[in-house]
Amino acid sequence: MKQLIVLLGPTGVGKTDLSLSLAEYYHSSIISADSRQVFKGLEIGTAAPSTTQLSRVQHFLVGMLDPENYYSASEFEHDALAIIAEEHKRNDVVIASGGSMLYIDALCNGIDDVPTIDDKLRSEVYDLYQKEGLEPIKSQLKLLDPEFYNQVDLKNYKRVIHALEVCLMTGKPYSSFRTNTKKTRPFNIIKIGLTRDREDLYNRINHRVDVMMEMGLLEEAKRFYSKKNLNSLNTVGYKELFKYLDGEWTLDFAIEKIKQSTRIYSRKQMTWFKRNKEIHWINLSLMSEQEAIDQIKYLV
């Protein structure tokens, strides 16, 4: 039986290093399940694999799109499955690694076939969001799809906006496209969740932000400042530095906010992942990388 090892966990936990060692052991490639690493030019802020790391192991879905492009969980599912099918012709094991919850769900369970939104409509809805905030979008969604409106986390602007886009694009409620039917896969999926003790994880996150700044994260943000309203740039790291470039925050304050936002995001990731009883958890604060690999080998 062909195997897919899904290495998941919060940001900063150590997925990249472990996935490289694991891929080298299984002579496997790595599929990135990170919703921002797919974009070119955002290498520092998304902690994308370095040139050296990319030379060690073949990676897929890293740095393949301009930030202006739209890339959905549904497109990720389609592309990742095609890559897995090809890679399984050469190897019994393929590795997917990342922390984007929707991407991992799409890969493992499938995602409903929601219509693609055209660029003009997407631009119009995001312009409305930028100018007037989320309230008018929520009001429209409540009118067009009260069922989904009563289910969705109304603070999650991305889901609210996407649901309205589908309503406007199709003339049908977004909820009518959601079947929540788990799809079968022609391979066995082994989900490995990486975690660390909280203090250890937070120290790693804080240190990683400092390293990103030393590597040139501010310069990277400056290159995309004129495009700061792009959805691909509406993410931790860039948002805070854009506030600095806008003159609203000092640089030191922006850096502290990046650390804080990253820690908050890591907690959201863990809350999401902990609901999944199929995940085998490994605490990297309690064991070496080799011990973690030995545990994974036992499960494969």
Q: Which domain holds residue 25?
A: 3-111+182-299
- Whole-prediction pTM: 0.85
Neighbours of 215 (CB within 10 A): 14
Lowest mean pLDDT among 36-40, 42-46, 147-151: 147-151
Are residues 225 and 238 part of one domain?
yes
Are residues 90 and 238 part of one domain?
yes
Output the CA torsion 292→201→93→75 (10° steps). Answer: 170
Section 18-36 average pLDDT? 97
Are residues 79 and 50 part of one domain?
yes
H or E element that contains 273: helix 251-274
Predicted local distance difference test score (pLDDT) of residue 196: 98
Specify the amino acid at residue 235.
Answer: T
- Report the CATH number that the domain containing residue 85 is assigned in CATH: 3.40.50.300
Query: How confident is the model over 234-275, as pLDDT tens digits?
Result: 899 999 999 999 999 999 999 999 999 999 999 999 999 999
Query: How confident is the model over 143-163, as pLDDT tens digits?
Result: 999 988 988 878 778 889 989
Are residues 238 and 136 part of one domain?
no
- Report the CATH number that the domain containing residue 164 is assigned in CATH: 1.10.20.140
Nearest CA among 83, 86, 78, 109 for reference residue 96: 83
Are residues 222 and 128 part of one domain?
no
Do 138 and 241 form a contact (C-beta atoms < 8 A)?
A: no
Over the chain, what is the mean pLDDT?
Answer: 93
Do 72 and 161 form a contact (C-beta atoms < 8 A)?
A: no
Lowest mean pLDDT among 79-83, 124-128, 206-210, 285-289: 124-128
